Amino acid sequence: MDRPVEPLAMTFHQHAWRAALSAAVLVVSAPLLVAASEHWHDGRPVLLATGLGWLAVTVLMPFLALKGTRSGVVRFTASATLWGAGTVLAGAFPTATVGPVPFPHLAHAVSLAGLAYIAFQQLRHARVAGDDQPLLVEASLFATVMAALSWDVFGRTGHVGDGWWQASASLVVLIASFVAASAVVLAVEHGALRLACFGLGLAAVATEVTAVTAAHSPRAADVAVLLALVGGLLLLVFQPRGGFVRHGGVAVTQAARRLRLAVTLPGAAMLLDIAVNTVDPRVDGLLSAYYGAAIVAAAVRQAATARAIDRTRQTLSFQAQHDPLTGLQNRTALADALVEPDRTQSLVILEVSGLDDVTDVLGVAVGEDVLRAAAANLREHVTPLDGTTYRVRHDEFAVLLPGSPDESVRHLPHVLAAVSAAPLQVPGAGRFPVAAVAGVARVDPGARAAGDATLPLVHADLALRDARSNPGLLGWSVYSGAVAAQHARRLLVRERLASAVAEGCIDVHFQPIVDFTTGRVVKFEALARWDDRELGRVSPVEFVAVAEESNLVVALGEHVLRRAVSTAHAAGVFDAEVRLAVNVSVVQLQSPGFAEVVREILSGYRISAHLLTLELTESVFLDSDSPAERVVTELARLGCQIAIDDFGTGYSAFGYLDRLPVHVLKIDRSLTQSLTGEGNGRSVVTAVVDLANNLGLTVVVEGVETDEEAAICRSMRAGLGQGWLYSAAVTSDRIISELEREYPVSPEAVR
Ligand code: C2E
Ligand code: CA
Ligand code: CA
C-alpha cells in the first residue's frame, strides 16, 4: 500500500497529547514528591536495590543495542532513565501511606484513558498500514504492558469489588482479547512469528485472568502471573531479531512514531504507578517479577526498534547520496560537496552521447552496462588525480578535480577518452561509438560566502551547452565571460523573439529558385526575417536555433507558413504555377496537429498542395518509425512536396530515400562552394545529382554565386539552382517582378 512518507516531525494531535500528558504527570507527581519526602525513612533497602538494578539494565540496554547515532543514544538513554528512575521511586516508597484521597480515581481515569488511546492508535496504524501485520504485534505488546500496569494500579489501590473495579476489569478483558486474537491471526499468517505470538497471547490472557481473580482467589492469580511471565519470556526470546520494523521509507516513519509512543506513555504510566504505590502500597513478589519482565520486554523492544530505525536511516542516507546503477555518488552528494568547498576545484560536467543507439538496438541492460563501464573508467582515471566522480543525470557525469580549470583541463582528453572507451568493454556494444562533451567551471572556497553554492553547476551547464553547440571546441568548454555573454544573449533573443512572434513582427522574404536551363523562376523559398527594435537585424540561423530550444519554433513556424502562403497567394505566385518552399523544423513536425494546420491553410486559400514544398533536414529521418516520419508521410499524402534541405552536410544516410516520400534534394552550399575548388567536391556533387536523377528526385543546388558554378551544375544535369547569382531573398513587393524575370542562361560548362 502506497502512502506518502510522513516527515518525522510530530503531528498536531501528538503535540496536544503530549502536552496533556505532561500536565497530568505534573499534577500527579507534584503532591507525591511532597508526600514522598515525608516518608523517605520507610524506604525498603531491598526494593531500592531492585529498582537500581532495573535502572542499570534500562540505561545500559539502549547503549548495547544502538551503536552509532548520537542523538538516538541520547534519546533512548533519556527515556530509559525515566523508566529506571520510576522503578527506583516505586521501590523506594512501597510502604508510604498518605491516607484516603480521591487520587486513585484520577489515576484510574488517566491510566484507562492512556490505555484506550494506545490501543486505538495502534489499531489505527495497523489498519492503515494494511499488509503490515507486524504492527499488530507492536500493538499487542503495548496493550499487554499497559494492561499489566493498569491492573497493577487497580490492585494496589485496593479497588476491588466496587463499580470501578468491574469497569476496569472488563476493559482489561477487552484489550486482552484483542491481543490474543491478533496473536492468533499473526501466528496463522506468519509461521516464523508463531512462538512469539503464542507468548504474547499467553501473557495477555494470563494478565486478564490475574486481573479478574486477584481479589477473590489469590492462588489462581499467582498461577496466572507465572503464566504471564512465561508468555513474556517466550515473546522476548522468539521475537524476530531486529524487531518487526521493515526497512524502507514508510517503515522508518512508522517506527519513529511507535518509538515516540514507547518513550512517552510507559514512562507516564510508570509515574502514575509510583503515585498510586505511594498512596496505598501492596507488595507482591510475583507481581514485581512480572512487572520487571514487562519493563525489560518493552525496553528491549524499544532498543530493537531504535536499531532498526538507525539501520534504515543509514541505508536511506547512503541511498540518498549514491546512484544505484553505477555506485557513484549522486547529484545530492555533489550539491553537498559544493556547499563548503575547502579549496579551489574544477567542476566538470560530462554529457554522454550515443547511449540511445546502444539502448535502442541492444536493449536497456546493455545500455546500463555501458554506463557502468563508463563510470568505472572515469573513477579509475579521476581517483588518482585526487578527484571525485558523480553521476548527476541519466547520461551525465560530474567530476570534481582539484585545482583551477586552467590546471585541470589538461586531464580532460583522458577523462573524455575514458568515457568513449566504455562500449569496447561491453560485449557487442563496441560498434556503437559513445562520446562525451564537457563543461568546466571553477569552484571557489569562498563560494558559500558569495551566496549560491549551486552556481558552479549552473556555470558548468552553460559551458557544456557551449561545448555542445561548438564542435570546434574539441569536446569541452570552460565557463568564462564569453560563455556567460552568449547565454545572456540567448536569453535576450528568446525573450524578444517570444514577443515578436506573438505580435506577428517576423517578416518573410522570398528567394527565387531558378531552372538552370530556361532561366525562369519556378519556386520561391520563404525565409524568415526579423528586425528587432533593440537587437537590430537577427539572423535566422541564430533565432531559429533559440526558438528550437524553447518550443517557440512551433508558433514561429506556423506564423511564417501562414504569412508566406498568404503573401505568395496575393502576389499571384500560385496562379503562375510557381511553387513555394517553406522551412520546417523537426520540433514543429513533432508538434501535434501540424499536418492539420497545413491542410487548413491550403484549403483556406484554395491552393493545390503540390505547389507547397516543405523543407526538412535529414535529422527528421534518422529515427525510423518516429512520429515525425508519420507526419511526413501524411503531408506527402496530402500532396505536398518534401525536400531534404542541406543535403550533403549531415549523415547522408540514403536509406530513408526509398522508404519515405521525398521529392526534392537540396544540395548544401558548402558542396556548391567545393565545385570549383581543388578537392573531390565535384565528384561528390556529380554522384549526388546522378543519384537524385536516377531516383526521379528534383535537385536544387543551393548557394550558386557564380556563372562558373551554374555552368558546372548545368553540365551535371542538375535541375534547379538557388543563390545570389540569381537573387538574394526579396521582399514581398518584388515577388511579381521576379515572376516575370528570365535569368540569362550562361554558355557551356567550364571543362
Ligand atoms: P536554408 O534553409 O539553407 O536557407 C538558405 C540560406 O542560404 C538563407 O540564409 C539564404 O539567405 C542563404 N543563401 C541564399 N543564397 C545564398 C548564396 O548564394 N550564398 C550564400 N552564402 N548564402 C545564400 P538565411 O535566410 O540566413 O537562413 C538561414 C537558415 O535559417 C536557413 O537555411 C534555414 O535553415 C533557417 N530558416 C530561415 N527561415 C526559416 C523558417 O521560416 N523556419 C525554419 N525552421 N528555419 C528557417
Ligand atoms: Ca531551406
Ligand atoms: Ca539549405
pLDDT tens-digit readout, 178-190 = 666 666 655 665 6
Does the residue 138 lie in any domain?
Answer: yes
Q: Which has the closest alpha carbon to 52: 14, 21, 81?
A: 81
- pLDDT above 90: percentage of residues in the chain: 43
Pairing verdict, β 396-402 and 345-353: antiparallel
Ligand 1 pocket residue status of 706, Cβ below 6 Å: no
For the CA of 539, the closest atom of ligand 1 is: 26
Q: Looking at the predicted structure, is the pLDDT value of residue 482 above 80?
A: yes
d(CA 692, CA 627): 26
The answer on 285 and 353 residing in a single domain is no
The mean pLDDT value for 463-484 works out to: 88
Candidates 143, 139, 138, 142; CA nearest to 244 is 138
Mention every residue, 6+ apart, whose C-beta is less than 8 A from residue 489: none
Q: Is the pLDDT of residue 647 over 80?
A: yes
Residue 541 lies in a domain: no
State the Cα–Cα distance between residues 725 and 703, nearest whole angstrom.
Answer: 8
* 420 pLDDT above the threshold of 70: yes
Ligand 2 centroid, distance to 617 Cα (angstroms): 9
667 Cα to the center of ligand 1, angstroms: 13
Most confidently predicted of 111-125, 262-276, 310-324, 367-381: 367-381
For 413-506, strand residue ranges (E) read 435-443, 476-478
pLDDT tier at 631, thresholds 50, 70, 90? very high
Residue 749 domain-assigned (yes or no): no
Summarize the confidence of residues 678-691 as an average pLDDT.
89
Q: Which range has the worst mean pLDDT, 59-63, 451-455, 456-460?
A: 59-63
- C-alpha of 423 from chain center: 27
The reply to whether 490 falls in a domain is no
The verdict on the CB of residue 258 being under 6 Å from ligand 1 is no
pLDDT, tens only, 41-75: 444 444 444 444 444 444 444 444 344 444 544 55
**4 assigned to some structural domain:** no
Atom of ligand 1 nearest to the CA of 540: 30
Residue 341: pLDDT band by 50, 70, 90 thresholds? confident
C-alpha 654/C-alpha 44 separation (Å) is: 101
Lowest mean pLDDT among 299-313, 324-338, 494-508: 299-313
Given 461, 479, 497, which residue is the final one in a domain?
479
What pLDDT, on a 0 to 100 scale, did the predictor assign at position 628? 82
**H or E stretch including 734?**
none
Residue 297 has pLDDT above 60, yes or no: no
In this structure, are residues 400 and 388 in contact, taking their beta carbons and an 8 Å threshold?
Answer: yes
Here the contacts of 4-13 (C-beta below 8 Å, separation 24 or greater) are: 5/249, 5/250, 5/252, 5/253, 6/253, 7/253, 8/253, 8/256, 10/260
Note whether residue 677 is domain-resident.
yes
Residues 512 and 471 in one domain: no
Determine how β-strand 720-721 pairs with β-strand 579-583: unpaired
CA distance 606 to 231: 92
d(CA 388, CA 371): 17
Q: Looking at residues 340-369, what average pLDDT do you find?
A: 92
The rounded Å distance from CA 527 to ligand 1 centre is 6
Answer yes or no: do 39 and 135 share one domain. Answer: yes
The grid coordinates of residue 410 equal: 589538461
Q: What are phi and psi of 454, to 5 degrees?
A: -90, 5
How far is ligand 1, taken at its centre, from the CA of residue 643, in Å? 14
Question: Does any domain span residue 644?
Answer: yes
pLDDT at 195: 79
The verdict on 285 and 389 lying in the same domain is no
Q: What share of the chain is helix, strand, coil (3-state, %, to 5)?
A: 65, 10, 25
**In sequence order, what E strands does 658-726 have?**
664-667, 698-701, 720-721
Among protein residues, the one with the nearest Cα to ligand 1's atom 21 is 703
3-class state of residue 427 by DSSP: coil
Residue 29: name the closest of 265, 262, 274, 261 by CA. Answer: 274
Assess whether 223 and 339 both reside in one domain. no
Q: Are residues 44 and 145 in the same domain?
A: yes
Specify the pLDDT at position 247: 37
Q: Supply the CATH number for residue 383's domain.
A: 3.30.70.270
* Residue 546 near residue 497, CB atoms below 8 Å: yes
d(CA 401, CA 348): 8
Amino acid, res. 557: G
Closest residue to atom 12 of ligand 1, CA basis? 703
Which of 562 and 214 is assigned the larger pLDDT? 562
pLDDT digits (tens, 9 = 90+) for 594-622: 999 999 999 999 999 999 999 998 877 76
In a domain, 323, yes or no: no
Kindly tell me if the per-residue pLDDT of 322 is higher than 60. Answer: yes
Atom of ligand 1 nearest to the CA of 508: 41
Residue 623: give its domain's CATH number.
3.20.20.450
Instruction: Give the separation between CA 153 and CA 211, rounded to whole angstroms.
Output: 11
- Interval 547-562: pLDDT, tens: 998 889 999 999 999 9
The number of beta carbons lying within 10 Å of the beta carbon of residue 403 is 18
Query: Do 207 and 348 share a domain, yes or no?
Result: no
Q: Are residues 464 and 572 in the same domain?
A: no
Instruction: Please tell me the total number of residues recorded for the chain in this structure.
Output: 751
CA distance 45 to 61: 24
The cell for 47 is 526494593
Q: How many Å apart are CA 432 and CA 362, to the nearest integer?
A: 10
Whether the pLDDT of residue 518 is over 90: the answer is yes
Q: Which residue has better confidence, 238 or 690?
A: 690
Same domain, residue pair 658 and 725: yes
Report helix, strand or coil for 476.
strand
How far is the centre of ligand 2, averaged over its atoms, from the C-alpha of 573 (Å)? 18
Of the pLDDT bands very low, low, confident and very high (cuts 50, 70, 90), residue 152 is low
CB 601 within 8 A of CB 562: yes
In angstroms, the Cα distances linking 731 to 511, 727, 740 are 9, 11, 15
E strand spans, 403-463: 435-443
Mean pLDDT, all residues of the chain: 75
In the prediction, which pLDDT does 526 show? Answer: 98
| Lowest mean pLDDT across 99-113, 465-479, 513-527, 581-595 | 99-113
Residues 6+ apart with CB under 8 A from 4: none
Q: Is the CB of 378 under 6 A from ligand 1?
A: no
Distance 612 CA to ligand 3 centre (A): 17
Shortest-distance Cα residue to atom 8 of ligand 1: 527
User: Kind of pairing, strands 720-721 and 507-515?
Assistant: antiparallel
Atom of ligand 1 nearest to the CA of 528: 38
Residues 648-682 pLDDT 10s:
876 666 777 777 899 999 999 999 999 998 888 89
Highest average pLDDT, of 62-76, 142-156, 246-260, 520-534, comes from 520-534
Rounded to whole angstroms, how far apart are CA atoms 25 and 590?
69
- Which atom of ligand 1 is found nearest the CA of 588? 44
User: Which residue has the CA at smallest separation from atom 32 of ligand 1?
Assistant: 541
Report which of 438, 427, 449, 269 is spatially closest to residue 352, judged by C-alpha positions. 438
* pLDDT given at position 314: 75
Q: Which amino acid is at 344?
A: T
Give the β-pairing of 536-538 and 521-532. Answer: antiparallel
Mean per-residue pLDDT, 348-368:
92
Write the residue with the smallest CA distance to atom 29 of ligand 1. 541
557 lines ligand 1 (CB under 6 A): yes
Amino acid code (one letter) for 129: A
pLDDT of residue 32: 47
What b/e string do you get for 516-543 counting C-beta neighbours within 10 Å, with b at 16 or more?
Answer: beebbbbbbbbbbbbebeebeebebeeb
CA 700 to ligand 3 center in whole angstroms: 10
Residue 559 Cβ contacting ligand 1 at under 6 Å: no
Radius of gyration of the chain (CA): 42
pLDDT given for residue 40 in this prediction: 42
The pLDDT confidence band at residue 645, using thresholds 50, 70 and 90, is very high
Give the burial class of 446: count Cβ atoms within 10 A of its Cβ; 0-12 exposed, 13-18 middle, 19 or more buried: exposed
Neighbours of 93 (CB within 10 A): 26
287 and 219 in a single domain? The answer is yes
Residue minimizing CA distance to atom 15 of ligand 1: 723
Output the DSSP codes for 256-314. HHHHHHHHHHHHHHHHHHHHHHHHS----HHHHHHHHHHHHHHHHHHHHHHHHHHHHHH
For range 348-365, the mean pLDDT: 92
Backbone angles phi, psi at 509, to 5 degrees: -110, 165
Among 278, 310, 342, the domain-final residue is 310
Ligand 1 neighbourhood includes 507 CB (under 6 angstroms)? no
Q: Clarify whether residues 713 and 613 are in a common domain.
A: yes
Average pLDDT over residues 33-45: 44
Interval 369-404: pLDDT, tens: 999 999 999 999 999 999 999 999 999 999 999 999
541 CB under 6 A from ligand 1?
Answer: yes
- pLDDT band with cut points at 50, 70 and 90 for residue 149: low
Residues 425 and 382 in one domain: yes
Q: What's the average model confidence in pLDDT over 734-740?
A: 95
Phi, psi of 402 (to 5 degrees): -70, 150
DSSP run (H or E) holding 513 = strand 507-515
For residue 714, what pLDDT band results from cuts at 50, 70 and 90?
very high
Among 326-340, 363-377, 464-478, 486-500, the least confident range: 464-478
Which of 276, 310, 344 represents a domain boundary (last residue)? 310
The number of distinct structural domains making up the chain is 3
| Beta pairing class for 641-647 and 612-616 | parallel
**Domain with 615 in it:** 507-532+553-740
